[in-house]
Structure formats: C-alpha cells, structure tokens
Amino acid sequence: MRYTKLGRTGLDVSRICLGTMTFGDQNTKAEGFAQMDYAVERGINVFDTAELYAVPPKPETQGSTERIIGDWFMERGQRDKIILATKIVGRTPNTWFRDGGVSGELNRAQIHEAVDKSLRRLKTDYIDLYQLHWPDRAVSQFGSNSTIFKPTTGPENPIPEILDALDDVVKAGKVRFIGLSNESPWGTMSFLHAAETHGKPRVQSIQNAYSLVNRTFELGLAEVAMRENTGLLAYSPLAQGYLTGKYQNGALPKGSRKQLYNRLQRYETPGAQAAFDAYLGLAAQVGLDPAQMALAFVLSRPFVTAAIVGASTLDQLKTNIDAIDLTLTEELEQQINNIHLLHQNPCP
C-alpha cells in the first residue's frame, strides 16, 4: 500500500480507501467483516461510510452500514488503527433521518443530532473526517459539478452557519476534521473563505465522483484541491462497475448492483456505452485488467488523495487493491486522453 497526507491534517492515509455502502443490504454483516479484515491486512487504513448507507437509501436499512462498522470496531478492537470517515445527508425531502419525521437539512440542531447518532451506531466517541454528503443548497445535479448548468433556487442554510455548527462538534471532540462531498468549485471556495474569515474548521477533502467517464473534477476543482490542500477522495472510480466490463454486451451478473436495484442511470447516459467500449478495448489492447487500468489512472492524478473502492466480493476487492502496484506509461496515458477528447464526461 502507498500513503499520503489528508489535507493539512497531518494524517497519513492509504491511497485506496474502503467504501462500505453495500454493507447491510447487498452485503451481509459477515461479508462486511471479511472485507474490512482483508482491507486492513492489505494496508488500507481509511473506511468511508455515511449515515444514509446502506444503498439504495431506504428507511429499513438507513444506518445499517455504520452499525456493522461499529460492531467490527468492538469485536476487532482496531478503532485506533482506522481513519474513519462518515457523512451527514444534505438537504433532502426524506424524513427518516431525523427525530420527529422532519426533512433533512444542514442546520445546527440536525448536525448535532446526526453526529450523535453516527457515534452511537459506530460505537466510537470520535469521527476522524465528517463530510457533508451533498450541499444544503439547490444545485444543478446531485454531483454538483455538472456539465449542463441549470439555474436553481430553494431554501438553504448559510455556509458560515453550517461551519459554526460543525465547529461545535469539533470543539466537543466528536469530530476531528471536516470535508465536503458532491461539491462544486464555488461551494468549496465558499467554505474555505468562510473558515478563514470566521476562524472555523477548514475543509480537508472533497469526495466527488471521478473516473475515466467523469473527469469534471478537472474543470475547476483540481486546481482548488492542489492549491488549497483539499484533495479528492474519488468515489465511483469504476463507474459503478461499468469500467470493469461486467455489463458489456448486455450482461447482467447475478447479485450485481444493476441486477438487484437497477439504479445505475448515471452511467447509462447518451454516449456512455461508446466511451466504455473504447476504454475496455484499450485495456484489452495493452493487456491490462480494465478495472486496474481505470483505478491506476485515478490514482495517478496529482489532485487525488485516495480512490474509494467498494466491492461485493473479496475477489473484486483484491483486484481493486492490486491496482496500487500498476503505473501507467506516458504512452498509455496519452491513449486514455485521446479517448477522453472523443468522449468527454458522458457520465457527470
């Protein structure tokens, strides 16, 4: 495993992070334990979760992933060896996250409630990295770094007030550091400016989607990440499995996310299949596992702190982690960029 610094925290984090959103629905508790055991054995020291998980989001499984991780901490006694990242939901009409059946938003009361609930489920007294899962404000699309801009309006809590509430939980020792997710360049810089202006906690990372078919992070956030030390925690680096080739030619593997939930529309946009065909064809041409090529590309970007990998089987997890040893040649990177120029960001 290789390691790097998380923002300005001084923490050394593994370049590959274990994503856990399948624990509690697609994966059983026992399977989640096996994945965490194997990840630690391979040198991974970051687990990423969220109060929303397991996916797909529904009240019956909300919080189940955090509970499984908490049980693992209790049984394995390795809390001090793990950098634990979790997330609070952004503004949502869903009412099952908060007491009283209210819709979710990032106000002071809900931030305090969410942190305390996550701590209980995770069976720990602190969270290393607490991330805002998506913005409190209305945005063009969920990923908040869209290629098609749509003016949006709606209720929102001011960013300085959100930071003030996060400062509460940091000062209380419940949270060590904060991060963003599904955020835009404007949003990221607004949080950074507010932190500097008001002496509040500084954002240390941005967790956005980033892959061969979604390089929108490079359009504005990459420079922010590098100049402000707010590196990318890249989620969906394999485009939810499409970049592995598992869904090629209409294949629908039993137990796959698409077969179970049919929720992969983000990667089924016009032009997406042509891009997948091109990248999978390139991997075959150069004799590389397509998943490992895709992950190696993500890990080679200077603004990426870590790639978040999720898996439904240990074999998949092993393949993903083994990508840490693959280095792309300049020639292969140019071939990847040539495909990108023809099929730019079909899946933002």
Catalytic positions are 53
Q: How far apart are CA 36 and CA 243, in angstroms?
A: 24
Return the SS3 of 45: coil
Q: How far apart are CA 164 and CA 160, in angstroms?
A: 6
Say which residue the tokens 């801009």 belong to. Answer: 149
Q: How far apart are CA 246 and CA 302, in angstroms?
A: 29
SS (H, E, C) 262-308: CCCHHHCCCCHHHHHHHHHHHHHHHCCCHHHHHHHHHHHCCCEEEEE
Say which residue the tokens 């080679």 belong to. Answer: 300
Q: How far apart are CA 42 and CA 18, in angstroms?
A: 11
Say which residue the tokens 């990426």 belong to. Answer: 304
Q: How far apart are CA 110 and CA 298, in angstroms?
A: 34
Which residue in 318, 329, 316, 258 sits closest to 288, CA to CA?
329
Q: What are φ and ψ of residue 295, in 5° steps?
A: -70, -40
- Nearest-5° angle of CA 269, CA 272, CA 275? 170
Which residue in 61, 77, 72 sits closest to 18, CA to CA?
72
Looking at the chain, which runs of residues are DSSP E strands? 3-5, 12-14, 16-19, 46-48, 83-88, 127-132, 175-181, 203-207, 231-234, 304-309
